[in-house]
Amino acid sequence: MKHCKYTLFGVILFCLLLAGCKKTSGITRYSTQYLDLFDTLTVIDGYASSQEEFSKETEKLYEELKTYHQLYDIYNDYENINNIKTINDNAGIAPVKVDKKIIDLLLLGKEIYEETNGKVNIAFGSVLSIWHDYRTEELNDSENAKLPPMEELKIANKHVDISKVIIDEAASTVYLEDKEMSLDVGSVGKGYATKMLTDYANREGMNHLLISVGGNISAIGTKEDGSNWVLGIQNPDTDSETAYVQKVNAKDQSLVTSGNYQRYYMVDGKMYHHIIDPNTLMPSAYFASVSILNKDSGIADALSTAVFNMPFEEGLQLIESINDTEAMWIYEDGTFAYSNGFKEAIAQ
């Protein structure tokens, strides 16, 4: 997967806060974590009668999430698996038969594109790959880090037409008509996979879980004692002694944050993060972070990216138009803004 800088401080704190063995009516709370999926830290917190029982349950969740990790990977090949990379490798050549899990993700991506007026585009890979390459180069030679030339970005931006992503649901194939285009599902893939994982957990009768996949946090049901889970919104100022700037109550709810501190590189002392504004082809400069509350982690993931790329009034209008969705914005100066119903979820 991607090789770039991450700020996992908040997720690690999340793990530490939840770790330990708190007993409720003979049931013990456990926590486990994985570092090899979606190039990030996954934390699962829940209840079981023993460590062995908890490990068996979380192993099922791990294997399920691993499936999505491999299918949505744009960097690596896997034996006997056609994934997003396979589709990109066959751009302009031939349709690729893929798993329905990919078809469903791409259909969602097309819906999100329309709903956000192009602020989230799964066909934006030609531009995002350039930024990825420059960030990766900085890891190898930080003293000579540089920005992508705008002309190079503009040329790549000619190959982001999502209408050229041809999905044949009956044949279960995907074809990129433009040989220079590529898919990048980073704006929705991890959140969608988390949503599918919560659905799987519910089907398996795992009704009291908290799952965090790189900060895409989903609360399944409540805690064992019936109380709400409490989810923290990380302080974008990672140098601050205050780890969380807000906490919210959650039951069958997801919280997803997009921030300028999560993946970035430095050029001449200035930070350039990974969320690229499709209008400017540069890192979006409106906010330090945007957090979205929604029952669906996939929707929340996409909306956090979209709203991060919009001025506040435009983003607020979008959020208020979607049922059961709330948002919190944090500006560069540390001030907050909220959607109309967000404060009702704040934990006291």
| Residue 185 is assigned to a structural domain of this protein | no
What pLDDT does residue 225 have? 93
Name the residue among 134, 129, 153, 131 with its Cα closest to residue 144.
134
Residue 207 forms part of a structural domain: no
CATH number at residue 171: 1.10.3980.10
pLDDT at 133: 95
Q: Which two tokens stand for residue 33?
A: 């974590």
Distances 137 to 38, 262, 270, 322 between C-alpha atoms, Å? 21, 18, 16, 40
Within-domain flag for 156: yes
Quick one: tokens of 334?
């540390």
What does the pLDDT profile of the chain (348 residues) look like in tens digits? 333 333 333 443 344 344 344 444 578 999 999 999 998 999 999 999 999 999 999 999 999 999 999 999 999 999 999 999 999 999 999 999 999 999 999 999 999 999 999 999 999 999 999 999 999 988 888 888 999 999 999 999 999 999 999 999 999 999 999 999 999 999 999 999 999 999 999 999 999 999 999 879 999 999 999 999 999 999 998 888 888 999 999 999 999 999 988 788 999 989 999 999 999 999 999 999 999 999 999 999 999 999 999 999 999 999 999 999 999 999 999 999 999 999 999 997
Residue 206 maps to a domain: no
Task: State the pLDDT at residue 25.
Answer: 57
Q: What is the pLDDT of residue 71?
A: 98
Which pLDDT does position 243 carry in this prediction?
A: 87
Which residue in 183, 173, 184 sits closest to 96, CA to CA? 173
Residue 124 domain-assigned (yes or no) = yes
Q: What angle do helix axes 100-115 and 189-203 make, rounded to 10 degrees? A: 120
Q: In what order do the strands lie in the sheet with 263-267?
A: 5-6, 263-267, 270-273
- Rg, Å, the chain Cα set: 20
pLDDT of residue 214: 87
What string of DSSP letters covers 204-246? Answer: TT--SEEEEETTEEEEES--TTSPPEEEEEEPS-TTSS--EEE
Residue 241 lies in a domain: no
Exposure string of 79-95, with b = 16+ CB inside 10 Å and e = fewer, is eeebbbbbbbebbeeeb
**Residue 138 confidence (pLDDT):** 86
Report yes or no on 121 lying in a domain: yes
64, part of any domain? no
| Domains held by the chain: number | 1
What domain range includes position 136?
84-176
